[in-house]
Amino acid sequence: MTLRLGAVLVSAALVALTACGTDDNSGLPGAVDFSVENLDCAPGGTLLASGSSAQSNAMEVWVNTYQANCDGSQINYKATGSGAGVQEFLQGTTAFAGTDSLLSEGEVDQSRSVCRDGGRAIHLPMVAGPVAVAYNLPGVDDLTLDATTLARIFDSKIRRWNDPAIAELNPGTDLPDTPITPFHRSDGSGTTENFTAYLHAAAPDAWPHTPDKAWQGAGGQSASGSSGLVGMVQQNAGAISYFELSYAHQNDIDTVRVDTGAGEPVEATVENASNAIAQAEQVGTDGDLALELDYASREESVYPIVLVTYEVVCDRGNAPATRDLTRAFLTYAAGEEGQRALAEIDYAPISDDIIQQVRQRIDAMA
């Protein structure tokens, strides 16, 4: 099954992120050089945007870089989750939305009332990468699971870490008799939709639930945003959850290798996710750049749990007061400098052929 789918240091607080306690859940290294030569800035102003928390760390770099190099510009991206971000865009309160799942036909139709001059919302793929399955199991730092076992864990069918199904996938590993606590997103989330699309595609008998932004599985506990899930995994022995690889690496959280049926279990890495994204099919039409991913791939070195985050904008009829700043900011993010920065924080840059089309759509925004 497939699912259509998305040297100046400044404060990271300029991007509004959902945090948990006092933990540093950013996926950024301790010091980042935000200087860029010859960045093409728009006249100053304020830009509001919201949506996907999967791209929060990418947005943190992009926003801080743009503001550090373009005086008088303030960009406020709130990581409210894909569902909330799309709704704010459709209400006309933000200049663009970040989403990890595609707008429905009804939402595209609704966008015509927000986009002026006969315009409509289109998807610009800007960020991609692996969704890591992260866990906290003291004494076990190497763990392999497959789609069926993951589905049964997150649907509360497997409840202890020494379950025979887990032991069979991890011969020789001393698995403790510890209760499993699966955590899922409480907010409408494109990450949830992509994760459950993988479960449904690769293990349909074990995960009969339709992929959705809202969690459909049985039981488990919840937290808001990717950073909220990070906090829950850190604080609870026996916990397991799903969030972007950048969060797992920055917070030193162990991640699962996935047995896809290939010769070897596949690790969550940017390279292995890029291999999956390279197989994506472009399904958008009339200037829309929506992609379709194959979550059930069994190819070697293809990590199957991936997502693409889209910036949703009007193809024409963008609000005149913010159009130039939106175009300038997205031009930087989609440009060589903006895309190069992604690989440094565990995201996969968009492939050359697609990102060239993204740049053309941004140039044509009216």
pTM value is 0.81
Alpha-carbon 183 to chain mean position? 17
CA angle 40, 15, 327 (to 5 degrees): 30
* Token pair recorded at residue 167: 């032991």
H/E stretch holding 287: none
pLDDT of res. 33: 63
How far lies 326's CA from each of 45, 47, 97, 132, 320, in Å?
10, 7, 11, 31, 10
Contact call for residues 351 and 277 (beta carbons, < 8 A): yes
Give the per-residue SS3 of 4-54.
ECCCCCCCHHHCECCCCCCCCCCCCCCCCCCCCCCCCCCCCEEEEEEECCC
pLDDT in tens, 187-229: 988 899 999 999 999 999 999 999 999 999 999 999 999 999 9
pLDDT score for 36: 76
Distances (CA, A) of 250 to 57, 183, 221: 11, 19, 23
Measure the CA–CA gap between 221 and 211, rounded to whole angstroms: 18
**Two tokens, residue 307:** 């997502």
Within 8 A by CB and 6+ apart from 35, the residues are 7, 8, 65, 68, 69
**In the block, residue with structure tokens 């920065």:** 341
Helix, strand, coil in percent for the chain, rounding step 5: 35, 20, 45
Rg for the chain, CA atoms, rounded: 20
pLDDT in tens, 246-279: 899 999 999 999 999 999 999 999 999 989 988 8
Q: What is the pLDDT of residue 272?
A: 94
- 221: three-class secondary structure by DSSP: strand
Q: For residue 324, is it left (φ>0), alpha (ψ between -120 and 50) or beta? A: alpha
Residue 100 contacts residue 193 (beta carbons within 8 Å): yes
Q: How far apart are CA 78 and CA 87, in angstroms?
A: 13
Say how many C-beta atoms besides its own lie within 10 A of residue 165's C-beta.
Answer: 14
Identify the structural domains of the chain with CATH numbers, from first to last. 2-128+284-290+308-363 (3.40.190.10), 131-276 (3.40.190.10)
Point out which residues pair with 135 in neighbouring strands: 240, 254
Residues of the chain with pLDDT under 70: 1-33
Strand order in the sheet with 281-282: 2-4, 291-294, 281-282
Strands 221-223 and 96-99: unpaired
Question: In the beta sheet, which residues pair with residue 258?
Answer: 145, 266
The DSSP secondary-structure symbol of 179 reads B
Rounded to whole angstroms, how far apart are CA atoms 9 and 43? 22
